[in-house]
Amino acid sequence: MHIVFAASECVPFAKTGGLADVVGALPPELVKLGHEVTVYLPLYAVVRPHLADRWKYVIRSITIPFEYYNRFVGIVDGGKRNDVQYYFVDCPDLFDRQGLYGTPSGDYPNNWERFGLFCRAILEASKILGVPQIFHVHDWQAAILPIYLRTTYAQDPLLASAGAVLTIHNAGYQGWFPPQTTERLLLPWEIFTMDRVEQFDTFNFLKGGIVYSDMLTTVSRKYAEEIQTAEFGHNLESTLRNRAADLRGILNGVDYAQWDPATDGYLAAHYTANVLTGKQECRADLLHAFGLEPISPTTPVLGIVSRFATQKGFDILSGIADELMRRDVAVVVLGSGEAYYENFFREWAARYPGRVALQVKYDEALAHKVEAGSDIFLMPSRYEPSGLNQMYSLRYGAVPVVRATGGLDDTIEEWSPGTNPEQGTGTGFKFYGYAPGDFLAAIDRALTLFPQKAAWHRLMRNGMVKNYSWTQPARQYVEVYSEVAKRRS
């Protein structure tokens, strides 16, 4: 089967979040299962260095019409990596910019044009370079592809049998644009209705993708349930309930070639579930990297690697920040995002020098060091569609304390000592309410267990032997593709 991925980011070319990790890791797994995979990405400014020594157009010019003008795009051959073919949509006026989606002052106002062009260019390029059985599109930026496929291109004989699968990585980001976007993209006004693309008098890219795709997936079983509720559906819950029969929750996987303390090149020492001694060296290396003095082995190190946003639960963390410092803990924080939370973390670190350390950035090497050097990893997310850091934390023996939502609930099992703590079950600690006290109580359960080394090591090992590789998710995606192909045959 030939599958075309349409996505706005992918490692190692362009990344702002977990979407890039998924689009980078899933295609090679599908190839291992015997399928042909092509990935289309915008040719952003950050992509150009990756292509400097292999720049070659496979299509020099494709005409993309808009309401009053045409744009002309090229398709650049990105070559094959792990037997996956990469192509880049080249339109410098739209994509050769500093940010993927906007600047610190806000989103680019013409993102409707940028990603409308991107999706239509993929359809046109596929007719030349190879029409797939399945277009697998990701999030709102690519969600207009199924809309085009079933409207503007509905009578195109080359595309008639192609299916469309939409993966929703985060329902909170939808792509809202003015009503006139419909005609600007040369789409029929008939689709601008409440049961198709219209929402609160806006053109909603993600809603249209949900309506026009053959099947839908999201990135955990629990999140597939949650997005059909008012709390997590972001006003799309009724649209998603209407498609419930075609919605599957498939948990994201981990690329253990990159995330394994037994082989991780970023670490000061290696260790495994059977030989944990290297973790103490990693802990010392982490404290040094964050400018903290060595601390007692009895003092747990709490780690955070995250985008700084309310979604990630930092409002309830701020509610316990001072109370947490009454415990014997050290905290290391890595990330960036909303100015409010960057300031919160800076002020917290300033109030407790030597105990709270912050680096406001994303740094791949430091992210690995935090996972390896932390004893406990905090993820109090308000919602978390899949989450990857909790799965990284399990493999690295950093015991997760998480809110029971989305993929966090699916992947973390509450610790239970049973009659013999050295044979206890579970992999971490969960809390269900969304209040500072709920979070602190879960942290305290972890802190109470930490001095009990035999039980703590059992808990660590329980997590380290878990397998959340891409092998099983890839098979589940193939089942979805096969169902769509069957319907379209």
Model pTM score? 0.92
The type of residue at 385 is P
Residue 404 lies in a domain: yes
State the Cα–Cα distance between residues 15 and 8, nearest whole angstrom.
9
Within-domain flag for 214: yes
183 and 204 in a common domain = yes
Q: How far apart are CA 267 and CA 13, in angstroms?
A: 24
The H-assigned helical ranges of 290-404 are 314-318, 321-324, 339-351, 364-373, 389-396
- From 5, 13, 26, 6, select the one nearest 388 (Cα to Cα): 26
**Residue 216 and residue 247 in contact, taking contact as beta carbons nearer than 8 Å:** yes
197 and 299: one domain? no
Q: How far is CA 60 from CA 48, 72, 97, in A?
A: 17, 9, 21
Q: State the pLDDT at residue 294.
A: 86
445 CB neighbour count, 10 Å cutoff: 17
Asked if 480 and 452 sit in the same domain, the reply is no
Q: Give Dmax (Cα) for the chain.
A: 74
Q: Are residues 249 and 317 in the same domain?
A: no
Are 456 and 479 contained in the same domain?
no
> Are 332 and 213 members of one domain?
no
Domain identity same for 248 and 290? no
Q: Answer yes or no: is 303 within a domain.
A: yes
CATH number at residue 451: 3.40.50.2000
What does the alpha-carbon distance between residue 26 and residue 18 come to, in Å, rounded to a whole number? 12
436 and 314, same structural domain? yes
**Residue 152 forms part of a structural domain:** yes
> How many Cβ atoms from other residues are within 10 Å of residue 315's Cβ?
17
In a domain, 410, yes or no: yes
| Residue 65 falls inside a structural domain | yes
pLDDT, one tens digit for every residue, the chain (489 residues): 999 999 999 999 999 888 998 999 999 999 999 999 999 999 999 999 999 777 899 999 999 999 999 999 999 999 999 999 999 999 999 999 989 999 888 899 999 999 999 999 999 999 999 999 999 999 999 999 999 999 999 999 999 999 999 999 999 999 999 999 999 999 999 999 999 999 999 999 999 999 999 999 999 999 999 999 999 999 999 999 999 999 999 999 998 989 999 999 999 999 999 999 999 999 999 999 999 988 999 999 999 999 899 999 999 999 999 999 999 999 999 999 899 999 999 999 999 999 999 999 989 899 999 999 999 999 999 999 999 999 999 999 999 999 999 999 999 999 999 878 788 999 999 999 999 999 999 999 999 999 999 999 999 999 999 999 999 999 999 999 999 999 998
Helix ranges restricted to H, 35-191: 92-95, 111-129, 139-142, 144-150, 181-184
Q: Which amino acid is at 319?
A: G
Shared domain check, 182 and 132: yes
Domain of 474 in residue numbering reads as 2-253+470-488
- Decide if 119 is inside a domain: yes
- Alpha-carbon torsion, ordered 187, 188, 194, 199, to 10 deg: 30
> 458 with 474, same domain?
no
CA–CA distance, 63 with 123 (Å, rounded to integer): 12
Q: How many domains, in total, are found in the chain?
A: 2
* Residue 482 covered by a domain: yes
Same domain? For 373 and 482 the reply is no
Do residues 450 and 484 share a domain? no
